[in-house]
Amino acid sequence: MKPIHYAILLLSALPCSQSAFAEEREELLKLKSTTLNLIEALVNEGVLSAERADAIITRAEASAEREMRARERAEAQGEPDVVRVPYVPGFVRDEIRQQVRADLRSEVVGDVMSQARQEGWGLPQALPDWTRRFKFSGDLRLRTQADLFSSDNPDFGAAFVDFSEVNENGGFNRSFLNTREDRYRARLRARLGIKAEVTRGLTAGLRLASGSTGAAVSTNESLDNNFGSMDLNLDRAYLKYNMLDLQGEPWLTAWGGRMPNPWFSTDLVWDSDLNFDGGALTYRHKLGGSHSLLALDERKQHLFATLGAFVLDEVELDRRDKWLLGAQLGADLNFEDQSRLRLGLAYYDYIDITGKRSPLSQPNLYDFTAPGILQKGNSMFDISNDPANPFQRFGLASDFNLLNLTAEYDIADFAPIHVILTGDYVQNIGYDADDIRDRIGGGDMFVNSSLFTDDPGEEQNEGYYARVTVGWPSLLERRAWQVSFGYKYLERDAVLDAFTDSDFHLGGTNTKGWILGASYGVLQNTYLKFRYMSADEIDGPALGIDVLQLDLVSKF
């Protein structure tokens, strides 16, 4: 028990009834000794200062002297004994009261917390174990979009063929791209994701998203269905396993299923909405060396290597299944001032992606070699060898083996304002004019979606993208902002047009132009984003398209 508790007991034990004077004197001597020891203890405990203790003793001695004299006078005058309570200074009573209150509060809080821990009052541990393994996230984007076509563009007709429609319909049937009529659309994107921790290191992920079934590069829904309901599709479904080092950071990550983009990349090659079906493996090697010339943070600097194998199409009656194989080497370097440099060199190899012309005896034998998804721009040729009914199906004329170099430097010298420099270069080293001539086999070839030819002509197999972004690195804070300016140049067979950016030039390849963007955080986790993209055709007939987008995005 603390000295202050002894003081309380001592005060409650003061004599309140008449007794023999001799016995009382003995008790008072004991009381004096005890009180002096108690005051000394209070000084040692820091409850009282030495000056206050001296004052208490002085007052107590004076009070005792007056009490003794009063008793002597009472006895001499024959007055009855009077019960007297020794004087306790007010500041001592206040300090005792405060000390008791503090001791009781800490003891009561301790008892309550102990009981709460045992019974799980409002704590996560009180919930079933499986509920703590799930994490939910999502976003909702409202978009207003204007597609503005140049007056110099050719009118409807055979100028620009929509090969995706042709392959689906089995013939032209007026399957041509819009080149002159401006469009104004209200659009919506909704996504809801769930991640579940199966066990340490193993995560299962699911995400539902709006958009049409089979649309690889867009999850937008146009508001044009007479108030009809919209589609909601399984956008992601994967297992992800992280092998952790002693610091709890992943050094090896394995993916399987329908997963997010595992590559460090921009939308020059891969649209930002694209997900991949298959498996990927990423290895990270920490760079040692606080003594390195870059003065990097050892916990955040690493080299990485990613391997991936993805299924594009499985053909039931043929062994020519279509695959994408990829490998990437890179570095992720974080500097002491929070700047960050990322580099990646990737090689992507498409397997059995080219078309094959059917023989005259079986004019539709190889129709399955037509690509399952297209935008526009790649060189195509007629694979349905039927003189009576030509141009039923089209396949890719060029093979695609891409060499891709990507870099991003996030400069944090002006934090919280960042300057982010992004560069991307790609070359299709699988493009071979002689192979294309052999593949066509005397058939007709379309380049730039418009020209009949029997010769591939000059190589069009390179692309690049450069962008400068200034502002906050994240837009989820209120009043955060960003502005950006970029330029993109993408020749017709530089990448597979099916998977590149679906907004710039309304998707596809054989395009060049600039992109202006601005974003502003209007609320916590909610921001406005504006983009203006002006693009033209690189080769062939003119096709100028300006795209304006105004988005309101909320993330949760």
| CA 430/CA 494 separation, integer angstroms | 10
Q: Quick one: 239 and 295 in the same domain?
A: yes
pLDDT digits (tens, 9 = 90+) for 252-296: 999 999 999 999 999 999 999 999 999 999 999 998 744 444 444
Res 213: pLDDT: 80
Q: Quick one: 267 and 384 in the same domain?
A: yes
pLDDT digits (tens, 9 = 90+) for 476-503: 999 999 999 999 999 999 999 999 999 9
Domain boundary among 94, 124, 154: 124
Please name every residue paired with 195 in a beta bridge, in sequence order, or none if there are none.
135, 205
Q: Quick one: 99 and 140 in the same domain?
A: no
Q: 449, 470 in Cβ contact below 8 A?
A: no
Q: Quick one: 325 and 190 in the same domain?
A: yes
Q: 460, 491 in Cβ contact below 8 A?
A: yes
Range of the structural domain that residue 431 is part of: 129-555
pLDDT digits (tens, 9 = 90+) for 56-90: 777 777 776 777 777 777 666 665 555 555 555 66
Q: Quick one: 496 and 396 in the same domain?
A: yes
How would residue 360 be classed by pLDDT, with cut points 50, 70 and 90?
confident
Domain boundary among 88, 103, 124: 124
Q: Quick one: 404 and 379 in the same domain?
A: yes
3-state secondary structure of 137: strand
Res 47: pLDDT: 62
Q: Quick one: 96 and 139 in the same domain?
A: no
Please name every residue paired with 420 in a beta bridge, in sequence order, or none if there are none.
410, 469
Mean pLDDT of the residues in the chain:
84
Identify the CA nearest to 254 among candidates 279, 286, 284. 279
- For 142, the enclosing helix (H) or strand (E) is strand 134-149
**CATH code assigned at 453:** 2.40.160.10
Based on the structure, what is the number of domains in the chain? 2
Q: Quick one: 69 and 145 in the same domain?
A: no
Q: 490, 511 in Cβ contact below 8 A?
A: yes
The reported pTM is 0.76
Q: Quick one: 407 and 292 in the same domain?
A: yes
**Whole-number Cα distances in Å, 258 to 82, 159, 262, 278, 304:** 94, 37, 11, 6, 22
Residue for token digits 């039927």? 386
How would residue 336 be classed by pLDDT, with cut points 50, 70 and 90?
confident
Q: Quick one: 143 and 120 in the same domain?
A: no
**Residue 55: φ, ψ to 5°:** -65, -40
Q: Among 28-32, 176-180, 209-213, where is mean pLDDT lowest? A: 28-32
Q: Please compute the mean of the pLDDT values over residues 519-528 and round it to a whole number.
A: 97
pLDDT digits (tens, 9 = 90+) for 309-328: 999 998 887 778 999 999 99
The structure tokens listed for 441 are 């086999």
Q: Quick one: 7 and 23 in the same domain?
A: yes
Q: What percent of the chain has pLDDT over 90?
A: 52
Q: Quick one: 385 and 341 in the same domain?
A: yes
3-state secondary structure of 56: helix
Residues 514-544: b if buried by 16+ CB within 10 A, e if exposed: ebebebbbeeeebbbbebebbbbbbbbeebb
Domain boundary among 90, 124, 158: 124
Strand-strand pairing, 322-334 and 221-222: unpaired
Q: Report which of residues 39 and 540 the model is more confident about.
A: 540
